[in-house]
């Protein structure tokens, strides 16, 4: 998954969150309750708990055992100047969430996913090109909100001591955004090896690479359905001559503009691909519900200025849209535990009106 969130651009956005955050802190200390972290309309969330504190924490994903997660973390105050991958066990009871660095600590990383053997994980990293963080795009010069798609990203398998045991991709151009089929046999990922940004599949060992999208535009952030038979992903589809030129010009600079994306669904081999949202704005970070009947995703479609971002559910045919989160700033990167009991996401809530993004977990209520 493309690692950087679509950041809220207005300094005024934190006022309501600050007020809410202060109330939350007071209430938690007074009552010892966790559900003060959620809003009254968030009926699907129960027993919410904040797992991380400070910095930028995103893309937290469950392992096959429902008990462990990987996530990426950036916090310059701790010397983590660009995203690195961390691993931890979901705490039980009142135990504190503890985690450890499992990437190399070099370069920039993204999109970690736990392997079915419970001993390894895969992730994308730029460390083979340089130990330092790759340069961020200067948005003041570009004058657009853009994501970098670093050509130095490749996909690796590592153990939980940080040792890389295998490199799965080694092609010119961006290779990242990998997730694993619940069957444990296939990986779906995003690559620029053909000159455009498309989705590919490969076997769990990196063999038999197959391109499954071929329409001009950014295709990424794909994941499998619980039975492994379908995939869902986000995509931009430039249509006009001006849109196509802008897309190609940015791509030549290793950049994409993620402000207009819709969700697409297909069979796992890429057949029967079709669009399921027509909301406008940025619709992204999709994942299937555990029963495979709905999609959860993040969107800013309700807001003219491109924020806040909230979480939504939608049926596979594009009907039944339901908003499930209500923060006034940023809720994204949703995922269910494989057994359907837990729900995890990243949010700006409860941060005192600042810009920290933290990982939250809760029980899922139908």
Cα 328 to Cα 310: distance, rounded to the nearest angstrom? 8
Phi, psi of 22, rounded to the nearest 5 degrees: -65, -45
Can the peptide bond before residue 146 be classed as cis, meaning omega within 30 degrees of 0?
no
User: Which residues make beta-bridge pairs with 237?
Assistant: none
Q: What is the 3-state secondary structure (H, E, C) of 37-56?
A: HCCCCCCCEEEEEECCCCCE
Residues 88 and 69: beta-carbon distance below 8 Å: yes
Neighbours of 146 (CB within 10 A): 20
Mean pLDDT, residues 119-148: 94
pLDDT at residue 346, as a whole number: 98
Does this model's pTM top 0.85? yes
Q: Which residues contact 163 (CB under 8 A, 6 or more apart)?
A: none
Cα 228 to Cα 186: distance, rounded to the nearest angstrom? 9
Q: Is the pLDDT score of 271 beyond 60? A: yes
Q: Is the pLDDT score of 130 beyond 90? A: yes
pLDDT at residue 34, as a whole number: 56
**Cα-Cα end-to-end distance for the chain:** 26
pLDDT at residue 305, as a whole number: 81
Mean pLDDT, residues 261-268: 98
Domains and CATH numbers, the chain: 11-364 (2.120.10.30)
204-250 pLDDT tens trace: 999 999 999 999 999 999 999 999 999 999 999 999 999 999 999 99
341-361 pLDDT tens trace: 999 999 999 988 788 999 999
Cα 322 to Cα 342: distance, rounded to the nearest angstrom? 19
Confidence label for 136 from pLDDT (cuts 50, 70 and 90): very high
User: Is 304 buried (19+), middle (13-18) or exposed (0-12) by CB count in 10 A?
Assistant: exposed
98-125 pLDDT tens trace: 999 999 999 999 999 999 999 999 999 9
Q: What is the 3-state secondary structure (H, E, C) of 104-157?
A: CCCCCEEEEEECCCCCEEEEEECCCCCCCCCCCCCHHHHCCCCEECCCCCEEEE
33-51 pLDDT tens trace: 457 899 999 999 999 999 9
Q: Is the pLDDT score of 58 beyond 90? A: yes
Q: Please give the C-alpha separations between residue 365 and each of 43, 47, 334, in angstroms, as whole numbers.
A: 7, 10, 15
């Amino acid at each position: 998954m493309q690692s950087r969130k679509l950041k809220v651009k207005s300094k005024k956005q934190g006022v309501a969150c600050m007020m809410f955050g202060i109330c939350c802190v007071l209430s938690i200390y007074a009552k010892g309750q966790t559900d003060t972290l959620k809003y009254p309309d968030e009926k699907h969330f129960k027993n919410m708990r904040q797992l991380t504190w400070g910095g930028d924490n995103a893309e937290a994903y469950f392992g096959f055992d429902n008990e462990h997660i990987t996530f990426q973390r950036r916090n310059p105050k701790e010397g983590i100047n660009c995203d690195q991958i961390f691993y931890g066990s979901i705490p039980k009871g009142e135990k504190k969430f503890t985690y450890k660095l499992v990437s190399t600590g070099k370069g920039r990383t993204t999109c970690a996913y736990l392997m079915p053997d419970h001993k390894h994980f895969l992730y994308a990293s730029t460390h083979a090109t340089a130990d330092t963080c790759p340069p961020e795009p200067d948005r003041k010069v570009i004058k657009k909100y853009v994501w970098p798609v670093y050509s130095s990203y490749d996909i690796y398998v590592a153990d939980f001591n940080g040792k890389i045991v295998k490199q799965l991709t080694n092609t010119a151009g961006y290779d990242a955004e990998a997730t694993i089929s619940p069957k444990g046999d296939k990986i779906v990922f995003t690559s620029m090896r053909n000159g455009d940004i498309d989705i590919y599949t490969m076997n769990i060992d990196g063999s038999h690479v197959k391109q499954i999208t071929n329409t001009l535009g950014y295709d990424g952030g794909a994941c499998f359905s619980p039975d492994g038979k379908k995939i869902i992903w986000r995509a931009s589809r430039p249509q006009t001559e001006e849109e196509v030129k802008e897309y190609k010009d940015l791509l030549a600079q290793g950049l994409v503009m993620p402000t207009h994306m819709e969700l697409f669904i297909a069979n796992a081999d890429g057949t029967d691909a079709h669009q399921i949202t027509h909301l406008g704005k940025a619709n992204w970070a999709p994942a299937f519900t555990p029963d495979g009947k709905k999609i959860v995703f993040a969107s800013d479609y309700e807001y003219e200025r491109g924020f806040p971002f909230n979480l939504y559910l939608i049926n596979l045919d594009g009907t039944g849209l339901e908003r499930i989160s209500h923060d006034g700033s940023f809720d994204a990167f949703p995922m269910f535990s494989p057994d359907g009991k837990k729900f995890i996401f990243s949010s700006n809530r409860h941060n005192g009106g600042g810009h920290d993004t933290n990982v939250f977990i809760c029980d899922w209520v139908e």
